[in-house]
């Protein structure tokens, strides 16, 4: 059901960054930078040690951070129960940290990690997903396009680091950016060497706020602005007018029931009929939630902006069926 969920209290909830990327992309290098960077934040970290070298013990000690290892296999297999338990334990020491980073194994589909912040009411009151950050190996990603995990890590991302740019040409980088942009129209892309990047582009970015993306690229919601890459791509819908809540509820329910596995991410700002507040919602696969946002400004154009990222989106007739949810003129 579409229902307004009250915004969480920023004074008590902890922002969470999910750090993902294929094997060898540079996730651990980036995590080490987060731990040692003078950003003034106390960072708690959840990592799993399946298939990759763990964080250097000496670095962990020097960093004086909270580290929780999950050694019972791939994080995507058992993550939900473990994450809920660990986050619950962490929140008992909420005064000890300001930000939580979850590093997944390079072979993980990030979806179950993200879903954790949708399915558990207690987690929703304690933690707020800030951003999914994906590190991409600019040199070797071309060898991994057939790996579903590598593609999904890019498709789910809010922030993408094109790492190891010193090992490829400008033409290769441009081609890579174009391909990634076709798969994910909403992510912010940064070029990095040795995962060197300013922390304010990663932590506390509130990447689920669609306005952030609009400020970076006002045209990214233009349906004709981006190419779609093979079966995985993104579609942006922009429609003026008011939405009928019952029609929208029925459409989303049917869409997610029938095509949910192919819909990686959804996010949007909607103009609901009879409401003076914007309605913000986000979803992953067959799960979604929403809440009332700020009031529409007096001179603001009220419109609906909706982004889908997933597989075979062109087959879903999204634009026409979304327009059918508008209040009849």
Same domain? 250 vs 317: yes
Taking the CA atoms of 53, 57, 58 and 64 in sequence, report the sign of the dihedral they define. positive
Same domain? 241 vs 145: no
For the chain, residues with pLDDT lower than 50 are 1-11, 49-77, 216-218, 220, 223-229, 329
Q: CA 192 to CA 303: how far, in whole Å?
A: 36
What are 19's two structure tokens? 């750090």
What does the pLDDT look like over 226-255, one tens digit per residue? Answer: 343 467 888 888 888 999 999 998 998 898
Q: Tell me, what's the pLDDT at 61?
A: 28
Q: Tell me, what's the pLDDT at 229?
A: 42
Same domain? 251 vs 187: no
What does the pLDDT look like over 267-285, one tens digit per residue? Answer: 888 999 999 999 988 787 7
Same domain? 49 vs 169: yes
Same domain? 248 vs 276: yes
For 98, the domain range is 14-208
Same domain? 166 vs 266: no
- Specify if 4 maps to a domain: no
Same domain? 201 vs 268: no
Same domain? 52 vs 124: yes
Last residue of a domain, one of 180, 208, 236: 208
Same domain? 246 vs 144: no
φ, ψ dihedrals at 286, nearest 5°: -95, 15
What are 60's two structure tokens? 């962990």
- Specify if 228 maps to a domain: yes
Last residue of a domain, one of 148, 181, 208: 208
Taking the model in full, what pTM does it have? 0.71
- Specify if 5 maps to a domain: no
- Specify if 105 maps to a domain: yes
Same domain? 125 vs 204: yes
Same domain? 231 vs 296: yes
- Specify if 26 maps to a domain: yes
Last residue of a domain, one of 183, 208, 233: 208
- Specify if 1 maps to a domain: no
Contact (Cβ atoms closer than 8 angstroms) between residue 99 and residue 41: yes
Q: How far is residue 120 from each of residues 83, 243, 277, 297, measured CA to CA in Å?
A: 10, 28, 26, 33
Same domain? 46 vs 119: yes
Of 146, 115, 112, nearest in space to 22 by CA: 146
- Specify if 9 maps to a domain: no
Q: Tell me, what's the pLDDT at 197?
A: 92
- Specify if 179 maps to a domain: yes
CATH number of the CATH domain containing 79: 3.40.50.300
CATH number of the CATH domain containing 312: 3.30.1220.10
Domain count, the chain: 2
């Amino acid at each position: 059901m579409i229902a307004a969920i009250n915004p969480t209290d920023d004074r008590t909830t902890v922002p969470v960054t999910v750090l993902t990327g294929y094997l060898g992309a540079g996730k651990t290098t980036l995590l080490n930078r987060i731990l040692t960077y003078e950003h003034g934040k106390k960072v708690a970290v959840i990592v799993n040690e399946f298939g990759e070298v763990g964080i250097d013990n000496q670095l962990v000690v020097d960093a004086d951070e909270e580290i929780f290892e999950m050694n019972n296999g791939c994080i995507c297999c058992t993550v939900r129960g473990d994450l809920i338990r660990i986050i619950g334990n962490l929140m008992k020491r909420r005064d000890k940290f300001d930000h939580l980073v979850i590093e997944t194994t390079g072979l993980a589909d990030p979806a179950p990690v993200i879903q954790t912040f949708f399915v558990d009411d207690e987690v929703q009151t304690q933690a707020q997903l800030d951003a999914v950050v994906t590190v991409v190996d600019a040199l070797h990603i071309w060898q991994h396009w057939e790996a579903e995990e590598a593609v999904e890590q890019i498709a789910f991302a809010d922030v993408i680091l094109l790492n190891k740019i010193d090992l490829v040409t400008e033409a290769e980088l441009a081609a890579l950016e174009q391909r990634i942009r076709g798969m994910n129209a909403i992510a912010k892309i940064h070029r990095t060497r040795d995962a060197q990047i300013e922390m304010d582009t990663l932590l506390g970015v509130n990447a689920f706020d669609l306005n952030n993306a609009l400020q970076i690229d006002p045209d990214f919601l233009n349906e004709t602005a981006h190419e779609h890459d093979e079966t995985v791509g993104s579609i942006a819908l922009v429609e003026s007018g008011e939405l009928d809540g019952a029609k929208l509820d029925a459409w989303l329910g049917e869409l997610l029931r029938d095509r949910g596995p192919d819909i990686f991410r959804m996010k949007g700002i909607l103009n609901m009929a009879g409401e003076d507040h914007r309605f913000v919602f986000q979803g992953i696969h067959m799960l979604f939630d929403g809440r009332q946002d700020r009031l529409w400004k007096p001179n603001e154009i009220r419109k609906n902006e909706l982004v889908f990222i997933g597989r075979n989106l062109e087959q879903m007739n999204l634009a026409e069926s979304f327009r059918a949810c508008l209040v009849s003129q």
